[in-house]
Amino acid sequence: MTVSAVYPGSFDPITYGHLDIIERAASRFDRLVVAVLQNPAKQALFAVDDRVRLIRETVDHIDNVRVERFQGLLVHFCHQHGIRVIVKGLRAVSDFEYELQMAQMNHRLGDVETLLMPTNPEWSYLSSSLVKEVARFGGRVDGVVPDKVAAALAERFS
- The footprint of ligand PNS (CB under 6 A) covers 8-10, 37, 73-74, 102, 105-106
The catalytic residue among 42, 61, 94, 158 is 42
- Asked if 91 is an active-site residue, the reply is yes
- Asked if 128 is an active-site residue, the reply is yes
By C-beta, is 37 or 83 nearer to ligand PNS? 37
Residue nearest to ligand PNS (CB): 9
Residue 130 φ then ψ, to 5°: -65, -40
The catalytic residue among 18, 51, 88, 132 is 18
Q: How far is the CB of 6 from ligand PNS (least distance, A)?
A: 9
Integer Rg of the chain from CA: 15
The overall longest dimension of the chain from CA atoms, in Å, is 49
Q: How far is the CB of 10 from ligand PNS (least distance, A)?
A: 4
The catalytic residue among 10, 51, 88, 91 is 91
117-120 contacts at long range (C-beta below 8 A, 24 or more positions apart): 117/21, 117/24, 117/25, 117/87, 117/88, 117/89, 117/90, 118/89, 118/90, 119/17, 119/20, 119/21, 119/89, 119/90, 119/91, 120/17, 120/20
Q: How far is the CB of 101 from ligand PNS (least distance, A)?
A: 7
By C-beta, is 13 or 150 nearer to ligand PNS? 13
Catalytic residues: 18, 42, 91, 128
